[in-house]
C-alpha cells in the first residue's frame, strides 16, 4: 500500500478550492498537515469549508518534520520567496501558475529547486485533461501525420470588477495580463503539443472594455516546432467568455480541442470524440471548472516524490512557456 505523504497548503485564496477538493479525494495518499495563510479572515473562511488544520504561522508549517511537500498558492509576486523558504526547509514544492512575475525571477526559483534537490512542479493542469492527453498521444503516434498548421484561440471574459480587485492585472502583483494570467494554461498546452520555435510578429493592447495596466488582448504569428505556421489569439474581453480552442491540421487528419472536448477527423473518414468533463472558467466565474485536472496534477507530483522522478510540468517547462509569453510581448512592442 502506498504510504501517505505529509502535505501543507500555503495560500488560501480562490485557487485553494480545487486543490483542497483534490486533497480530500487523495486522502489515501496524503496526510494533510496544514492549510496556511497570513490572513486570519481567509483562515477562518477556509476552516468552515474544509476539514484540515489551519494556521497563520508559516514558520510552524516549515518546521513540521511531517510536512514533506508544500503546495504554494500565494500570489505570483511571492512565489520566489515562499517557495525558496520551502526548499530551504527541505520540502518538495508544487507552485501555482505563473511561475513568477518575470522570467528572471522564475529562473532564480528554478535554480533554488535544483540546489535543494527536491521535486519542483508547476500547476498547469490543462495538460492533464483526458482530451489533452488523447491529443498528445495521437500526435506522438503520428496518427495525424505531419503537422501543417496549428491555431490557438482563447476568447475569455473577465468583467471590470475582476480587475478592480487590488493588484489584478498589474505587473507588481500578477506580472502580466491575459497571456501570463489566463491564457498561460492553453499556451503551455499548445507549446507542449506542437512546439513554438519563433514568434514572427505580434500585437498586444488593452481594449476599451477594461481599465487595467496590462494587456487584455494579444495575437501572434508563430513558427511551430517543425517550421509550420501557427497563430495565437488570447483575450479577456470576449463577453460572456467562450471555450479556448486548439486546432491542428495534419496530413492525415484534423484535430479540434474545444475546452475539454476533442474531435479527431481523419482523412480516411474515421471520427473520434473525447467529451469534456465540464466548464473551463472562461467567463466571469473564474472557478467554474471541475477539479479533476488539479487532482491529476497533484497525483503526478506525489508520484514524482515517491519514485524520485520528475513531474510532467517541471519548473523548466513552465519557464519555457513564460519565456514564450515574453517573446510575444517583446514582438508586440517592436
12 pLDDT tier (thresholds 50, 70, 90): very high
Measure CA 315 to chain center. Answer: 12
Q: For 66, how many CA atoms within 13 A lie in the half-sphere containing its CB?
A: 10
Max CA distance (Å), the chain: 61
The H or E element spanning position 230 is strand 229-235
pLDDT, tens only, 216-247: 999 999 999 999 999 999 999 999 999 999 99
Considering the domain 5-125+298-307, what is its CATH architecture?
3-Layer(aba) Sandwich (3.40)
Q: What ranges do the domains of the chain cover?
A: 5-125+298-307, 127-285+315-333
Q: What is the pLDDT of residue 251?
A: 98
Q: How far is CA 221 from the centre of its chain?
A: 23
User: In this model, does residue 3 exceed pLDDT 90?
Assistant: no
In 3D space, the residue among 281, 305, 308 whose CA is nearest the CA of residue 293 turns out to be: 281
Residue 135: CA atoms inside 13 Å, Cβ hemisphere, count? Answer: 36
- Closest to 100 (Cα-Cα) out of 88, 91, 113: 113
Q: Based on the number of CB atoms within 10 Å of its own CB, is 17 exposed (0-12), middle (13-18) or buried (19 or more)? A: middle
Q: Would you place residue 150 in the very low, low, confident or very high pLDDT band (cuts 50, 70, 90)?
A: very high
Distance CA 156, CA 33 (A): 36
How much is the pLDDT for 331? 98
The number of beta carbons lying within 10 Å of the beta carbon of residue 25 is 16
Cell numbers for 150, please give them.
496549428
Give the pLDDT score at 285.
61
pLDDT digits (tens, 9 = 90+) for 162-187: 999 999 999 999 999 999 999 999 99
Residues 97-122 have pLDDT tens digits of 999 999 999 999 999 999 999 999 99
Q: Which residue in 190, 101, 200, 158 sits closest to 287, CA to CA?
A: 158
Q: How confident is the model at residue 45 (pLDDT cuts 50, 70, 90)?
A: very high
pLDDT attached to residue 30: 98
Question: Tell me, what's the pLDDT at 237?
Answer: 98
The tens digit of pLDDT for each residue in 252-293 reads: 999 999 999 999 999 999 999 999 766 655 655 655 678 999
Question: pLDDT for 243-252, tens place per residue?
Answer: 999 999 999 9
Domain 127-285+315-333 sits in CATH 1.10.3720.10: no
What distance in Å separates the CA atoms of residue 100 and residue 88, rounded to the nearest whole number?
18
Amino acid at each position: 500500500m502506498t504510504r501517505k505523504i505529509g502535505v501543507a497548503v500555503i495560500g488560501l485564496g480562490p485557487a485553494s478550492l480545487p486543490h483542497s477538493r483534490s486533497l480530500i479525494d487523495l486522502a489515501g495518499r496524503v496526510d494533510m498537515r496544514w492549510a496556511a495563510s497570513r490572513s486570519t479572515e481567509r483562515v477562518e473562511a477556509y476552516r468552515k469549508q474544509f476539514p484540515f488544520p489551519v494556521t497563520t504561522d508559516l514558520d510552524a508549517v516549515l518546521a513540521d518534520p511531517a510536512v514533506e511537500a508544500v503546495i504554494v498558492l500565494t500570489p505570483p509576486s511571492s512565489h520566489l520567496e515562499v517557495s525558496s523558504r520551502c526548499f530551504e526547509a527541505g520540502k518538495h514544492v508544487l507552485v501555482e501558475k505563473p511561475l513568477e512575475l518575470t522570467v528572471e525571477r522564475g529562473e532564480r526559483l528554478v535554480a533554488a529547486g535544483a540546489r535543494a534537490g527536491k521535486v519542483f512542479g508547476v500547476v498547469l493542469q490543462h495538460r492533464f485533461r483526458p482530451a489533452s492527453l488523447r491529443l498528445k498521444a495521437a500526435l506522438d503516434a503520428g496518427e495525424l501525420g505531419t503537422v501543417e498548421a496549428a491555431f490557438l484561440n482563447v476568447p475569455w471574459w473577465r468583467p471590470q470588477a475582476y480587475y478592480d480587485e487590488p493588484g489584478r492585472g498589474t505587473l507588481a502583483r500578477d506580472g502580466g495580463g491575459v497571456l501570463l494570467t489566463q491564457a498561460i494554461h492553453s499556451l503551455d498546452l499548445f507549446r507542449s503539443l506542437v512546439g513554438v520555435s519563433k514568434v514572427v510578429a505580434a500585437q498586444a493592447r488593452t481594449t476599451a472594455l477594461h481599465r487595467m495596466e496590462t494587456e487584455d488582448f494579444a495575437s501572434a504569428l508563430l513558427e511551430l516546432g517543425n517550421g509550420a505556421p501557427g497563430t495565437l489569439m488570447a483575450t479577456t474581453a470576449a463577453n460572456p467568455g467562450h471555450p479556448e480552442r486548439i486546432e491542428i491540421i495534419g496530413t492525415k487528419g484534423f484535430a479540434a480541442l474545444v475546452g475539454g472536448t476533442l474531435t479527431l477527423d481523419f482523412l480516411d473518414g474515421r471520427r473520434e470524440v473525447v467529451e469534456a468533463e465540464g466548464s473551463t472558467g472562461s467567463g466571469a466565474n473564474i472557478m467554474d471548472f471541475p477539479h479533476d485536472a488539479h487532482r491529476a496534477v497533484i497525483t503526478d507530483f506525489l508520484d514524482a516524490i515517491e519514485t524520485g522522478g520528475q513531474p510532467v510540468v517541471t519548473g523548466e517547462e513552465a519557464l519555457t512557456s513564460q519565456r514564450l509569453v515574453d517573446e510575444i510581448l517583446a514582438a508586440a512592442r517592436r
